[in-house]
Amino acid sequence: MSKTALVTGASRGIGLETTRRFILNHDDITTVVMFARDSEDFDDNVAALESELPIGRKIVPYRVDVGDRSALKKAVKQAYDEVGNIDILINNAGYTNPVPLQQVKMADFEKTMNVNLYGPFTIVKTLLNRGNRFDLIVNIASTAGINGRSGWLTYSASKAAVINMSQVMREELSIYGTRVVCLSPAAPRPHCAARSRRRRIPARSCSPSTSLR
Ligand SMILES: NC(=O)c1ccc[n+]([C@@H]2O[C@H](COP(=O)([O-])OP(=O)(O)OC[C@H]3O[C@@H](n4cnc5c(N)ncnc54)[C@H](OP(=O)(O)O)[C@@H]3O)[C@@H](O)[C@H]2O)c1
């Protein structure tokens, strides 16, 4: 059966690569809805992806700020009306502005929570209330949400909340057969990557505690 995915933060990085792999390498995923803010990068990457699309596959870009709750709700409803049930949701969009604790501005803390925590929650709640049934929800957190990262208070707090929220989603949505996965990538560590290149070992084996979780 053909599946539809929605990926936030799909203009670059992990979100763009996830979209590319879904639409090019997964036979069962025929539609990917891409959420990101309006930008030339997004336009260019959508155009590049469209030029490689296999027959019968489509990408559906939406220009939306995940941190703007009313715009987000509107976009989610429009996407649902346009493509139907979202089977796979990848909550990937992320924002951070690392500063020392004394310099944290409340407006920036609120923006971080809006994009990293309330955005993913709003997408899930809006779709559930529309009658959507998910097969899989993937929330992207961070190792900063597990241990906290000095200088990254707002980001660490938002990602810790994402990890906890994912546990509750997993329990509450299991009755629908929905799998909820929370991934916590580690920030790249240049010295680790250089060492593994010299020794020809995979970077992830430098520290099991910082690998994907
Ligand atoms: N890469 C890492 O080392 C690492 C480590 C730990 C966790 N993570 C997490 O993994 C996720 C992806 O990271 P990445 O490295 O791929 O990041 P990235 O290359 O900086 O991309 C971030 C994505 O999020 C989108 N985004 C940011 N603010 C947004 C907003 N207000 N509304 C809509 N989209 C927004 C960006 O889109 P626009 O700016 O174009 O709107 C972009 O597509 C994030 O949640 C990040 O916290 C990454």
pLDDT in tens, the chain (213 residues): 799 999 999 999 999 999 999 999 998 999 999 999 999 999 999 999 999 999 999 999 999 999 999 999 999 999 999 999 999 999 999 999 999 999 999 999 999 999 999 999 999 999 999 999 999 999 999 999 999 999 999 999 999 999 999 999 999 999 999 999 999 999 865 543 444 344 433 333 333 232 222
Distance of CA 139 to the CA centre of its chain: 6
118 is annotated as an active-site residue:
no
Cβ 42 under 6 angstroms from ligand 1: yes
Question: What pLDDT, on a 0 to 100 scale, did the predictor assign at position 188?
Answer: 67
Q: Closest residue (by CA) to atom 20 of ligand 1?
A: 13
Structure tokens at 127: 């779709």
Question: What pLDDT, on a 0 to 100 scale, did the predictor assign at position 1?
Answer: 79
DSSP string, 146-206: HH--TT-HHHHHHHHHHHHHHHHHHHHHGGGT-EEEEE-PPPP-HHHHHHHHHHT--GGGG
Q: What is the dihedral of CA 205, 210, 212, 213, to 10 degrees?
A: 130
Mutate to test the pocket of ligand 1, among 6, 7, 8, 14 (most ligand atoms within 8 A of CB): 14
Nearest atom of ligand 1 to the alpha carbon of 96: 47
Cβ 19 under 6 angstroms from ligand 1: no
Q: Closest residue (by CA) to atom 1 of ligand 1?
A: 187
Cβ 39 under 6 angstroms from ligand 1: yes
Structure tokens at 151: 């200088």
Domain boundaries, the chain: 3-210
Q: Closest residue (by CA) to atom 25 of ligand 1?
A: 9
Catalytic residue among 62, 95, 118, 155: 155
Report the CATH architecture of 3-210: 3-Layer(aba) Sandwich (3.40)
Other C-beta atoms within 10 Å of 108: how many?
Answer: 15
Nearest atom of ligand 1 to the alpha carbon of 111: 31
Question: What pLDDT, on a 0 to 100 scale, did the predictor assign at position 40?
Answer: 97
